[in-house]
Structure 1
Amino acid sequence: MISLSDIQAAQERLSGLIIRTPLVFSQTLSRMYGVRVFLKLENLQTTGSFKLRGSLNKIKLLPNASRTTGVVAASAGNHAQGVAYAASLAGIPATVVMPQWASLSKQLATEGYGGLVLRHGQDLTEALAKAQELADTGLTFIHPYDDPQIIAGQGTLGLEIMADLPEVETILIPVGGGGLAAGVALALKSIKPSVRIIGVQARLTPSAQAARETGRPVPVPSSATLADGINVTCLGQQTFPILQEYLDDLVLVSESEIADAVLLLLEKKKILCEGAGAVPAAALTQVLKDRNLGRRLVLLISGGNIDIPLLERVVQRGLINSHRLLTVRVILPDSPGSLGRLTTLLGQAGANILHLDHDRLGLDLPLKDTRVYLALETKGPQHCQEIRETLADAGYLVDNRV
């Protein structure tokens, strides 16, 4: 098992090569949840995530023979970019195996950092197996999380948090394979044992929960999740004992909660993060909202690499979940002025029409009627209800879809 001195040595090794990311206070989240909330913005790190820390620490320690033959890694995207960038700094060839579903933007970014991308497998476990096959040909395998030098590199985040906020009482950390959570938990607990470390995982891939329940890492089914960066089906053999010793609690969050958290951080704090980076905020706003988390809380925003098309869908889904986007179908007479009267009524009700579509050809419609599909921007659940009541009072036949 690694020690605090290993993490401190990694911090010295990485000095000047990585960004010392900011720890910022959130007035909005603090006011909403009654605790002083700070955000560790590792989404601002070079390559867009914390993964560079571990990759660079590992590659800096490689023997000369490995530097000649090159390295190979497996990753859903962030570790891929970290390895590619770190290898390019060292002048080492890098091959990265990514699952078939890996984000397009992460694939392109990895190639942009000089890495050779191979797409293989339906989950990270299959991608890892392929990478280990390639390692048998002479390449040096860089594990995404289950490696002492990787864990030590990720743990440098904990040293930065403790230096910037020694009064920290609780920290919420994403958990995938466990490298980040293990390194940060070990660093923080070694310096301040009273700090509470709460891991957060996507409910669709609860590998850490399964490991805690069985007492050993066990595989769980792979499921597509918005938090693709922590979509790991089995906790690491080396990360597990560290988490067993230092993790105080583990909570799970749903896909809708993750989407809401991405939107919350983007709208309230102007912070762009990926699904995995948003899971601490998702936990704070839902499963932990009534928990006593102390007076000073840190959310570790682990990464910001999200596909723009996916971000658009996430924002739409978040608006629907928060009832700030209302979709309705209204039946009205197919006659001059009918649509104008409807839109005027919606304007008077304070609804902003984002999209409108006419359907005159529905076989279930009387010939004298038309169906109008509307997407409306609203102020929230109460406003949605007021809009429905306004339409009903005016005699419109409405099929609500929220």
Structure 2
Amino acid sequence: MVAPSRKKSVVHPPHDHTHESTPQKNHHTRVKHVERKRTASISQEDGMEYNKRVRKLHKAFLAHGEELVKDKQNSGSNSDAELPIFDPDCDPENPKKLLFSDISSAAFNIKNGVQRTPCVRSLQLSSKCEMDLYFKKEYLQVTGSFKERGARYALSKLPEKYKKAGVIAASAGNHALALSYHGQQMNIPVTVVMPVTAPLMKIQFCRTLGANVILKGETIAVAKEFALKHATEHNLKYINGYDAIDILAGQGTIGLEILDQVPDVDAILVPVGGGGLIAGIAVAVKTLKPDVHVYGIEAETCPSFTEAYEIGHIITAQAKASLADGLAVPTVGGNSLETAKGLIDKVITVKEESIALSILRLLEVEKAVVEGGGAVGLAAILEGKVPELKGKKVVSILSGGNIDTTVLGRSIERGLAVDGRLIRLEVVVSDRPGGIAELTSTIAHLGASIKDIFHERAWISTDVFHVKVKIIAETRGKEHVDEIETALKKIYDNVVLH
């Protein structure tokens, strides 16, 4: 149930939208409740004066933001320096709803600036998954993700003063890259504030694209706070990467393209992080073809959209590390949630193992290098979360391909393990000469390839004349693993497979 609206008395600080933030003890805490606690220590008299100052500053910021900054700079006053920074375009207490006309405008506006990505049927995975499965390949955009659509449209909608002064955003990845590239293409100065923990490759790419990169803080929350202050002080336009209405409109153009490329589609699987992508697509699809089902997919390590959509208002979910790091947004966007209400048919969470297996499948079968966030749609299918879609025509959006090489390697190994093609087994053998050699020879004859082997004598419960051998081996799959286990148990008493 949505909490009743009330007159605002404080300007709200920016919410932490990254998985790197410190989790709240109660992850179902309402945003409003948290904000009330922050002002609880102010005395009544001081609080009234504080609220007057905040309302005055907020009103002035909305109506005369540029003049306010100039006045403060000229006067040298810092009396309001302690006041929280506020993004008027993304106010969770007064959310805005995206309209279909916004998406239509965006489609016309960006058609010559971004790629119309292919939406291709997968022959092998359609057969394996028992459905007509298509992939919308957004990772083929120049900077490797769907974020270019919203970035391009948001930049095109800027007033002339901001096209000259420039824009600023806080991002550790795809939004920063998208703004940097299209800012360069449109001759608009771009500043991106990135946490010091951002991947070096992405930092360098943004600089190569001409962006002014500022490294600030350990988390995106710190970077965002700095970016908002910097925007106010330097007359720059702050662009939220997943909740600004123009961003949502740009992302919604994917929905228009899907309906054009696969007119008889039954369902669309959409990755969900902050909610901007699914909000835009849902408006586009449900306006033109209400019978098409829209599914939201997110990692179970950060089910922020699932919980917020069920409850009907923003909450802060606990976020853990995930292969789908781009989706690990603890607090979804207020505009995105408000727009998506009533338009999404199902929201699903998927396991890390399924994401890893999906990355592997896409690499092997589709020859597509896709980041974890882009692979969650296929993960939902492989995990058996959408049995009702068997026999249907389904589009899964591969939203991005910016995955670090080291993470890709780990994902492949994890995927092989989930698929039964990489196993770890423990066997207790005789410690006499030739005991270990006999075991490795047996495994080789069974058709497995040993990748690593080590043994231990001190920490086993059998007699001192035996040794525990631990082996990591490649196999042909789960049936092959069963054959290996059966054969080894006929020879050895202690065999454990992991």
Report the TM-score, using the length of structure 1 for normalisation. Answer: 0.92
| Matches of 1:211 and 1:37, distance apart in 2 | 29
Q: Secondary structure at the match of 1:245?
A: coil
Q: Secondary structure at the match of 2:256?
A: helix
Q: Once the two structures are superposed, what CA deviation does each residue of 1:270-304 show, in whole Å capped at 9, x if it has no partner? A: 22110100111111122424223662110011001
| Matches of 2:407 and 2:170, distance apart in 1 | 22
Specify which of 459, 475, 491 is matched with residue 378 of structure 1.
475
Matched-pair identity in %: 37
Q: 1:120: how far off?
A: 4.2
Q: 1:81: how far off?
A: 0.7
Residue pairs, 1:110-259, within 5 angstroms: 110-120=206-216, 123-137=219-233, 138-259=235-356
Q: In the alignment, what sits opposite 1:318?
A: 415
Task: Look up the equivalent residue of 1:299 and give its one-letter code.
Answer: S
Q: Is the 8 A contact 1:105 1:306 kept in 2?
A: no
Q: Once the two structures are superposed, what CA deviation does each residue of 1:337-366 show, in whole Å capped at 9, x if it has no partner? A: 444432221122121222334x46757597
Q: Once the two structures are superposed, what CA deviation does each residue of 1:354-388 show, in whole Å capped at 9, x if it has no partner? A: 2334x467575977655543211112233223212
Task: Look up the equivalent residue of 2:354 and give its one-letter code.
Answer: E
| Matches of 2:483 and 2:302, distance apart in 1 | 39
Q: In the alignment, what sits opposite 1:292?
A: 389
Q: Is the 8 A contact 1:76 1:229 kept in 2?
A: no
| Matches of 2:200 and 2:384, distance apart in 1 | 31
Unaligned runs of 5+ in 2: 1-96
| Matches of 1:103 and 1:147, distance apart in 2 | 25
Q: In the alignment, what sits opposite 2:405?
A: 308
Q: In the alignment, what sits opposite 1:107?
A: 203
Q: In the alignment, what sits opposite 1:23?
A: 119
Q: Is the 8 A contact 2:130 2:390 kept in 1?
A: no
Q: Once the two structures are superposed, what CA deviation does each residue of 1:188-208 show, in whole Å capped at 9, x if it has no partner? A: 111111111011111121111
1:87 equivalent in alignment to 2:183: yes
Q: Is the 8 A contact 1:329 1:398 kept in 2?
A: yes
155 and 373 in structure 1: CA distance in 2 versus 1, 3 angstrom threshold: same
1:5 equivalent in alignment to 2:101: yes
Q: Secondary structure at the match of 2:302?
A: coil
Q: Is the 8 A contact 2:179 2:190 kept in 1?
A: yes
Q: Secondary structure at the match of 2:389?
A: coil
| Matches of 1:324 and 1:330, distance apart in 2 | 19
Specify which of 441, 446, 449 is matched with residue 349 of structure 1.
446
Of 364-373 and 82-91, deviating more is: 364-373
| Matches of 1:304 and 1:39, distance apart in 2 | 13
The structure in which a higher percent of residues are strand is: 1
Q: Is the 8 A contact 1:124 1:233 kept in 2?
A: no
Of 365-374 and 231-240, deviating more is: 365-374
Q: Is the 8 A contact 2:427 2:492 kept in 1?
A: no
Q: In the alignment, what sits opposite 2:84?
A: none
Q: In the alignment, what sits opposite 2:66?
A: none
Q: Is the 8 A contact 1:2 1:152 kept in 2?
A: yes
Q: 1:333: how far off?
A: 4.2
Q: 1:125: how far off?
A: 4.1
Q: Secondary structure at the match of 2:273?
A: coil
303 and 82 in structure 1: CA distance in 2 versus 1, 3 angstrom threshold: same
Q: In the alignment, what sits opposite 1:391?
A: 488
1:66 equivalent in alignment to 2:162: yes
Q: Secondary structure at the match of 1:311?
A: helix
| Matches of 1:40 and 1:170, distance apart in 2 | 13
Task: Look up the equivalent residue of 2:336 and give its one-letter code.
Answer: T
Q: Once the two structures are superposed, what CA deviation does each residue of 1:71-105 show, in whole Å capped at 9, x if it has no partner? A: 21122311111111111112233222234554444
Of 79-88 and 12-21, deviating more is: 12-21
Q: Is the 8 A contact 1:350 1:378 kept in 2?
A: yes
257 and 319 in structure 1: CA distance in 2 versus 1, 3 angstrom threshold: same
Q: Once the two structures are superposed, what CA deviation does each residue of 1:106-138 show, in whole Å capped at 9, x if it has no partner? A: 333333323333444565444333321221122
Q: In the alignment, what sits opposite 2:373?
A: 276
| Matches of 2:471 and 2:292, distance apart in 1 | 49
Q: Once the two structures are superposed, what CA deviation does each residue of 1:148-176 show, in whole Å capped at 9, x if it has no partner? A: 11111111111111111111110000111
Of 67-76 and 201-210, deviating more is: 67-76
Q: 1:140: how far off?
A: 1.3
Specify which of 30, 54, 59 is matched with residue 150 of structure 2.
54
Of 222-231 and 167-176, deviating more is: 222-231
Task: Look up the equivalent residue of 1:43 and give its one-letter code.
Answer: Y
Task: Look up the equivalent residue of 1:3 and give its one-letter code.
Answer: L
Q: 1:59: how far off?
A: 0.9
| Matches of 2:340 and 2:390, distance apart in 1 | 19
RMSD: 2.3
| Matches of 2:402 and 2:479, distance apart in 1 | 34
1:39 equivalent in alignment to 2:140: no
Q: Secondary structure at the match of 2:408?
A: helix
367 and 176 in structure 1: CA distance in 2 versus 1, 3 angstrom threshold: same
244 and 21 in structure 1: CA distance in 2 versus 1, 3 angstrom threshold: same
Q: Is the 8 A contact 1:173 1:199 kept in 2?
A: yes
| Matches of 2:332 and 2:401, distance apart in 1 | 23
| Matches of 2:277 and 2:349, distance apart in 1 | 17
| Matches of 2:141 and 2:331, distance apart in 1 | 26
| Matches of 1:340 and 1:88, distance apart in 2 | 62
Q: 1:397: how far off?
A: 4.1
| Matches of 2:100 and 2:435, distance apart in 1 | 71
